[in-house]
Amino acid sequence: MEIIMNYVFISPNFPRGFANFAIRLREAGVTVLGVGQDPWEELGPELWGALTEYYRVANLDDYDVMCRAMGHLIHRHGRIHRLESHNEHWLMQDARLRTDFNIPGLKLDDMGPVKYKSLMKEVFRACQIPVAR
């Protein structure tokens, strides 16, 4: 039985060079789904061919809208196996979506060391990795 992986990219066309991630995932047989605020026409031909579906939202910062987008994609494609934005601005929202929709990856409880360098230093120290002072 073949397992299909569903991968959601938040704002798949930003930054521009990162479209290659979606393209290569699609080439590997992954179902690549996009959520973004840009019109479909602005994504470009590379992403048109890589995305199985694109859900346009008015505002990526609106969590309620993002929840509706995720609900729609899950309804149409089944379980989501990964979710990434490649944008530091949405780190917390990505983690919240992963937490609320039980998507593997960094969840809200994991974000302290990712967001705060002081906590990351403690992680490095615990792993005995030298930390610059």
Mean pLDDT of the chain: 89
Contact 82, 73 (CB under 8 A): no
Q: Is 53 helix (H, G, I), strand (E, B) or coil?
A: strand
**Distance of alpha carbon 92 from alpha carbon 89, whole angstroms:** 8
**Distance of alpha carbon 25 from alpha carbon 31, whole angstroms:** 8
**Distance of alpha carbon 85 from alpha carbon 14, whole angstroms:** 8
For 121-131, how does the pLDDT look when each residue is reduced to its tens digit (9 = 90+)?
Answer: 676 677 776 76
For 60-112, how does the pLDDT look when each residue is reduced to its tens digit (9 = 90+)?
Answer: 999 999 999 999 999 999 999 999 998 888 899 999 999 999 999 999 988 87
Which pLDDT belongs to residue 4?
78
CA-based nearest residue to 34, from 48, 18, 19, 51: 51
Global pTM exceeds 0.75: yes
Higher pLDDT, 122 or 5: 5
